[in-house]
A and B are shown apart, each in its own frame.
Chain A
């Protein structure tokens, strides 16, 4: 599976928007872009995924660059509960593909 690159950490203020970047320059045409997050002492939690078009759901928005070599997870109004490690993952549409986690980005939210 193709690799992703994320900053190590980011800080945000509560109730402000947060933009978490991810680079995936070696993405292939069949790779889906997934975002998961892991709150302290919990298992990873699905956030959002997309292929080519921008996506919105109740948790976040995913903006995908036109060339698909980067994407941005957008939390519209950060809350203290959003403090977590966020993982940007590529997963192939081929059979038996892996969901491979990198280091992720640690998001801190200031009250």
Chain B
């Protein structure tokens, strides 16, 4: 069983469209994250939820809206997609929101906006 799974793995879409990426973890963790890895390979944290509550919200455009229906799921909805949104998006989870807990990452969703 995959610990952290994301769907879809690849997503190609046109500018202006709205799309969603789903993430599920079966580890019973309390905290989930979205990271963005751009073409230069920098991994930047976007959001974090702890028990369905938003705890970290980096300077991300309002077009990005995370939703956590329960603590096992964290979805990312993106409105009005732009070329600059093209990147690999990684979901992750940790047991707790601090310190020594090990993070588990999904395999990533490669988003290409054309």
- The 0/1 profile, CB within 8 Å of A marked 1, for residues 30-73 of chain B is 00010100000111110010100001100000000000000000
Q: Known A98-B56, A101-B42, A101-B43; judge A45-B100 contact (CB<8 A).
A: no
The docked-state distance in angstroms from the alpha carbon of A87 to that of B44 is 13
B103 interface contact, C-beta 8 A: yes
Q: Known A93-B98, A96-B48, A96-B98; judge A46-B104 contact (CB<8 A).
A: yes
Contacts of B50 on A, CB cut-off 8 Å?
A: 96
CB atoms of A94 and B107 under 8 A apart: no
The docked-state distance in angstroms from the alpha carbon of A95 to that of B51 is 13
- The 0/1 profile, CB within 8 Å of A marked 1, for residues 86-110 of chain B is 0000101010011110111111100
The docked-state distance in angstroms from the alpha carbon of A101 to that of B56 is 15
The 10 A-B pairs at the shortest CB distance, nearest first, are namely A43-B105, A93-B99, A101-B43, A96-B55, A46-B102, A97-B98, A44-B105, A96-B97, A32-B100, A43-B90
Q: Known A96-B56, A99-B33; judge A91-B97 contact (CB<8 A).
A: no
Contacts of A92 on B, CB cut-off 8 Å?
A: 98-99
Chain A contact residues (Cβ within 8 angstroms of B): what range? 20 to 34
With A51-B100, A91-B99, A99-B103 already in contact, 7 other A-B pairs whose C-beta atoms are closer than 8 Å: A42-B107, A43-B4, A46-B104, A87-B43, A94-B98, A98-B56, A99-B92
- The 0/1 profile, CB within 8 Å of B marked 1, for residues 56-74 of chain A is 0000000000000000000
Determine chain B's interface SS by DSSP, over half rule: strand
Q: Known A96-B55, A99-B33, A101-B42; judge A45-B105 contact (CB<8 A).
A: yes
Contacts of A99 on B, CB cut-off 8 Å?
A: 33, 45, 92, 94, 103
- The 0/1 profile, CB within 8 Å of B marked 1, for residues 22-64 of chain A is 0000000010100010100011111001010000000000000
Q: Known A43-B108, A98-B45; judge A36-B56 contact (CB<8 A).
A: no
Contacts of B92 on A, CB cut-off 8 Å?
A: 43-44, 99
Q: Nearest chain A CB to B62's CB is how many angstroms away?
A: 21
A100 interface contact, C-beta 8 A: yes
